[in-house]
Amino acid sequence: MRIIAGKFKGSALYLPKNKNTRPLKDQVRESIFNLLTHSNKISFKFEKSNILDLYSGTGSFGLECLSRQANDVCFVEKEKDAIKILKKNIGKLKLEKKTNVFVGNVFDIIDKKNIFETKFELIFCDPPFKSLNMKKLIELIVNKNLLQKEGIIIFHRNKKTQDNFPNHFKTIDERTHGISKIIFGKILL
pLDDT in tens, 113-134: 778 888 999 999 998 877 778 9
> What are the boundaries of each domain within the chain?
45-187
Quickly count helices (H) and strands (E) in the chain.
5, 7
In this prediction, residues 67-92 reach a mean pLDDT of 95
Domain 45-187 fold is Rossmann fold (3.40.50)
CA distances from 159 to 91, 101, 163 (A): 34, 29, 10
The percent of residues above 90 in pLDDT, for the chain, comes to: 66
Which amino acid is present at 185?
G
26 contacts: CB under 8 Å, gap ≥ 6: 1, 2, 4
How many residues are present in the chain?
Answer: 189
φ, ψ (nearest 5 deg) of residue 61: -70, -55
Q: What's the CA gap between 187 and 147, in Å, rounded?
A: 8
Q: What is the pLDDT of residue 117?
A: 83
Query: What is the per-residue pLDDT across 7-37, written as a single tens digit (0 to 9) for each?
Result: 999 999 998 776 666 667 778 888 899 999 8
Over the range 123-137, which residues count as b (16 or more CB within 10 Å of their CB) and which as e? bbbbbebebeebeeb
